[in-house]
Structure 1
Amino acid sequence: MILIGVDPHKSSHTAVAVDIAGHQVAQRRFVVNAGTFRQLMRWCEQWPDRRFAVEGAGGLGRSLAQQLAAAGGNVVDVPSTLSARARLLATGGDRKTDAKDALHVAQVALFRHDLRPVVPEDQTTILRLLTERRDDLVHERTRVLNRLHAVLRDLLPGGAPTGLSADKAAALMKGVRPVTATDNCRRDIARDLLADLRRLDRQVKGNESEMREAVAATRTTLTTLPGLGTVLAAKVLGHIGDVGRFPTEHHFASYTGSAPLDASSGNNVRHRLNTGGNRALNSVLHTIAVCQIRDGGRGQDSSARSVRGRPLRRPAGPSSDACPTWSTGS
């Protein structure tokens, strides 16, 4: 069997073939154009029994990895962090070329059997695209709304109230009577911002409608869980894809960054907050937990057990001996 590692870039892809012992057999650089995939497959025909390893199959290597998967190829995704570690451990140290990067990608895939296989894009990819587009629209709407609020602050006595919306801003602007040329300019800018705000509101609603249809097409039951609406369900499905790629719930917790990191040393056993993992999914889990703690659900029961199970401790300080008050550990 031959394993072909690919180091993808915007303008070129470098492929290196290695045997089962990890020794380089051949290499070739392909210029990225309409015929790149066809040229790669023609070059690989000399090895009928082959596998592919693409670095960053969710980033720069997405297009090539998807073409290989659609053609029935056996493709795995090699994270750039793993190939970088392999490069550091190589004889050449930290020397970096495209060919060496492709070689290390192939060697990582050869000896690591837990890499994520690349599958053809499906409905979950559509959901991820829609949720990312919604995040962009919401961020842009927030920026426009803040700017409109700042302009109205200078146009209206006392400024605009909080909780501003397009309809409220339009009602406030009806009473604006500019006196100076500067105020006339502010009013014109406010009108442009109001038009932008209405456009973004329409786009957000349209995006959520598409998202609702896409979630319904998956026939998922996630939306029946407390605290999990259409948007959050779309994010979960879009980022996870096939949940079967996680062997256990512990692997899933590690992937989302919700599992604490072991920072023990010697007899000192401790854990610290995990700031890594998929932060988008981490945010979704936090929102679900907050909603269930507030409105009821498994999250509320789990939180109650966690609070009851916390050990009691004395407050630190010189007055702790004189003060009999006890508090729960935070």
Structure 2
Amino acid sequence: MSHRFRKPVNIMPTPTIDLAGPVAGIDTHTDTHTVAIVTETGKHLATDTFPTTSNGYQQVTEFLSAYSVVAAGIEGTNSYGAGLTRHLIGHGHVVFEVLRPTRALRRRDGKSDPVDALAAARQVLTGQALSIPKDTTGPVESLRMLQITRHQLVATAAKLLTLIKSLLVTAPVTVRQRYATMTTTTLVMTLSRCRPPADVTDPVNGTLTSLKSLATTYNMLRAQCDELDNKITDLVEVINPAMTQIFGCRAVTAAELLVSLGENPQRIRSQAALAHLWGVAPIPASSGRTNRHRLNRGGDRQANAALHRIVLVRMRHDERTRDYVQRRIKEGLSKKEIMRCLKRAIVREIYQVLCLGRPVRQSSGLRSDEFRALRSKKGLSQTQVAKKLGCAPARISDIETGKRRLSELKLTYEEFLKTA
């Protein structure tokens, strides 16, 4: 499958920095942050190390102010440097996220905290590979914490269920025969309600005691997951209620996408950049006479998985998506290629809602062939319809034959047919 691009796509635009003054680079760790300051020409001015405490953050602020630093580049703004990033932004400093030094640079200059901080400062000077940090001071940060906790609880519950079934395989025959034919739901409910004798010297009693403990813990985790689901749903409605109006995007899926962009989705400059961030934009892999693109296996994999779930729902329950899949299969595309195309189309839809704040446009409920049948039933010609809608008759033909998308005109055409 071939892909065409007008130009290479960056996740973030190259920030415009006023370099009328020194810049700083900060190498972040669990216990300490190392700060290096250089002039606008790259000359090293000072380096110091500060603790990762409130007092340490204040010392970093005073250190930057003493040298009139105009911008700071921080490694790991969403991990070890999250607290310092919030502190500096809150005190009016311009902060960018920088990449860690490349292997080639580490082989040449060595590896230490002062060296990494100096490399971060000089990366700010070049303006390359810089990005705007995610804002972690709003409700999206709370959503991220809830999502992380829910993921862990779901994974733990799944492991407990696997362990229950594994123990039944080697359990005494009386226990195995009693529970072997039960469904998963009935099995967990029955085990949590059983009352094994207190004498665990008997393997039967020891097995039942273990299974009851696992089943009880599993039920507790499921109850906590349900409670978190309700909180996540409420929080998504507060942050961006339009996200759950997208077909196939329930609250938990919407939460993954919201967390991926953070509190400031406007930092994404285009829908192509958003597709690149979520790993659904092919990567140029051309060289010499070879002109091709490869699959992007990078990006935010949690967000990519969320897009995958939306695609699966649409392929099963959305008639327009099923028709699209059948048409593309006839064109020779594989299922994986079709799903990549669908993910890319969903990103365009989400960008309008999440980054531009536009409402969800409801898709047309009519297929292309249904437009022609409904128009003929009402005794209208393509010319008459085109005159009413203020477009060329060829556009009406394009809609009825499915040659062109024309989403806006298609919605207007459908509304006209229903009211004519």
- Give the TM-score range, shorter chain: 0.7 to 0.9
Find the aligned partners of 1:151 and 1:95 in 2 and give their Cα distance.
52
Which residue does the alignment assign to 1:111? 126
Could you say if the C-alpha distance between residues 29 and 160 of structure 1 is closer, same or farther in structure 2, counting changes exceeding 3 Å?
same
1:117-159, CA deviations, whole angstroms, 9 ceiling, x for partnerless residues? Answer: 2335212111122111111110000001111122334222175
Specify which of 159, 165, 179 is matched with residue 149 of structure 1: 165
The question of 1:64 aligning with 2:80 is answered: no
Which residue does the alignment assign to 2:40? 20
The 5-angstrom pairing of residues 186-225 of structure 1 reads 186-225=207-246
Task: Measure how far apart 1:190 and its partner are.
Answer: 0.8
Find the aligned partners of 2:78 and 2:182 in 1 and give their Cα distance.
40
Which residue does the alignment assign to 1:77? 97
Which residue does the alignment assign to 2:289? 267
Find the aligned partners of 1:127 and 1:75 in 2 and give their Cα distance.
23
Instruction: Give the number of the structure whose residues are more often strand, by fraction.
Output: 1
Q: Tell me the secondary structure at the aligned position of residue 177 of structure 2.
A: coil
Equivalent pair of 1:70/1:120 in contact (CA under 8 Å): no
Residue 155 of structure 2 aligns with an amino acid whose one-letter code is H
The question of 1:128 aligning with 2:149 is answered: no
Equivalent pair of 1:5/1:16 in contact (CA under 8 Å): yes
Could you say if the C-alpha distance between residues 279 and 299 of structure 1 is closer, same or farther in structure 2, counting changes exceeding 3 Å?
farther
Find the aligned partners of 1:284 and 1:57 in 2 and give their Cα distance.
24
Specify which of 175, 185, 189 is matched with residue 170 of structure 1: 189
Find the aligned partners of 1:296 and 1:305 in 2 and give their Cα distance.
14
Q: Could you state the TM-score of these two structures normalised by the residue count of structure 1?
A: 0.83
Could you say if the C-alpha distance between residues 177 and 135 of structure 1 is closer, same or farther in structure 2, counting changes exceeding 3 Å?
closer
RMSD: 2.7
Equivalent pair of 1:130/1:207 in contact (CA under 8 Å): yes
The question of 1:277 aligning with 2:299 is answered: yes
Could you say if the C-alpha distance between residues 305 and 25 of structure 1 is closer, same or farther in structure 2, counting changes exceeding 3 Å?
farther
Quick one: percent identity of the two aligned structures?
Answer: 26
1:61-92, CA deviations, whole angstroms, 9 ceiling, x for partnerless residues? Answer: 11111111122221111122xxx12x7348x7
Equivalent pair of 1:149/1:164 in contact (CA under 8 Å): no
1:260-300, CA deviations, whole angstroms, 9 ceiling, x for partnerless residues? Answer: 23333443433333222111011011111111111116654
Equivalent pair of 1:226/1:297 in contact (CA under 8 Å): no
Q: Tell me the secondary structure at the aligned position of residue 37 of structure 2.
A: strand
Q: Could you state the TM-score of these two structures normalised by the residue count of structure 2?
A: 0.67
Find the aligned partners of 2:58 and 2:290 in 1 and give their Cα distance.
57
Instruction: Give the number of the structure whose residues are more often helix, by fraction.
Output: 2
Residue 4 of structure 1 aligns with an amino acid whose one-letter code is A
Which residue does the alignment assign to 2:280? 258
More moved, 283-292 vs 104-113: 104-113
Could you say if the C-alpha distance between residues 306 and 270 of structure 1 is closer, same or farther in structure 2, counting changes exceeding 3 Å?
farther
Task: Measure how far apart 1:33 and its partner are.
Answer: 3.4
Task: Measure how far apart 1:162 and its partner are.
Answer: 7.1
Q: Which runs of 5+ in 1 are unaligned?
A: 313-330
Find the aligned partners of 2:321 and 2:93 in 1 and give their Cα distance.
42
More moved, 298-307 vs 234-243: 298-307
Find the aligned partners of 1:4 and 1:14 in 2 and give their Cα distance.
10
How many residue pairs match? The answer is 306
Which residue does the alignment assign to 1:296? 318
Could you say if the C-alpha distance between residues 108 and 303 of structure 1 is closer, same or farther in structure 2, counting changes exceeding 3 Å?
farther
Residue 169 of structure 1 aligns with an amino acid whose one-letter code is V
Task: Measure how far apart 1:311 and its partner are.
Answer: 7.0
Equivalent pair of 1:126/1:238 in contact (CA under 8 Å): no
Find the aligned partners of 1:120 and 1:169 in 2 and give their Cα distance.
39
Task: Measure how far apart 1:107 and its partner are.
Answer: 1.0
Residue 144 of structure 1 aligns with an amino acid whose one-letter code is L
